[in-house]
Amino acid sequence: MKDRIEAIIEQSIEQHRKLYACADQIAEAADLMIEALRQGGKIMFAGNGGSAADAQHLAAELVNRFLLNRRPLAGLALTTDTSNLTSIANDFSYDEIFSKQVEALAKPGDVFFGISTSGSSGNIVRAVEAAKALGVTTIALTGSKGRLQSDCDLCIAVPGEYTPRVQECHILIGHTLCELIESALCA
């Protein structure tokens, strides 16, 4: 078992090393998010499964705190309102659960941040379409495939397809963005 554990850790380290290729996109995402918050906009996060938990986690890091005790920043997870999620899925379709919320809550100057390991989650794709129609900046955090790479204003595509390692990189990227945002706006 110890050999297996060490192999998993090594695999994760190797996957994280591949993130150097994403540094420019991470910096650009931070700039877009900082500017939106600076101008009074908000960051709306969404994802499915583990990515839904990441969306909630990152929104909380902005609203409450990351490393500094500071004023709250406008972060919103579209994954948390079960009445909205279930009524939209029931009355329309699961693919609409985030796009309807974007249509209701977003305005130009905001950022929609979709997390999809596959890069093709239908509800994230539809939310991106809704956000773009409203003039909202769109950022996606994906694995190495999927249509979100071309649909968004900016896509941070983690090089890799093995879901657990890609998702581990997603939270590192999310924490990096939170640290950059916090230091730019609140230090």
Report the amino acid identity of residue 131: A
State the pLDDT confidence band at 187, using cuts at 50, 70 and 90.
confident
The per-residue pLDDT for 69 is 94
Average pLDDT, integer, range 83-109: 98
Q: Return the CATH number at 70.
A: 3.40.50.10490
Q: Which of 175, 176, 170, 172 is nearest to 158 (CA)?
A: 170
Q: Nearest 5 degrees, angle CA 182-CA 177-CA 12?
A: 135
Pairing of strands 137-142, 154-157: parallel
Task: Describe the chain by its helix, strand, coil percentages, rounded to 5.
Answer: 60, 15, 30
The residue range of the domain holding 68 is 2-186
State the pLDDT confidence band at 45, using cuts at 50, 70 and 90.
very high
pLDDT digits (tens, 9 = 90+) for 143-178: 998 899 999 999 999 998 899 999 999 999 999 999
pLDDT digits (tens, 9 = 90+) for 70-94: 999 999 999 999 999 999 999 999 9
Tokens of 107: 């305005």
Total domains, the chain: 1
pTM score:
0.96
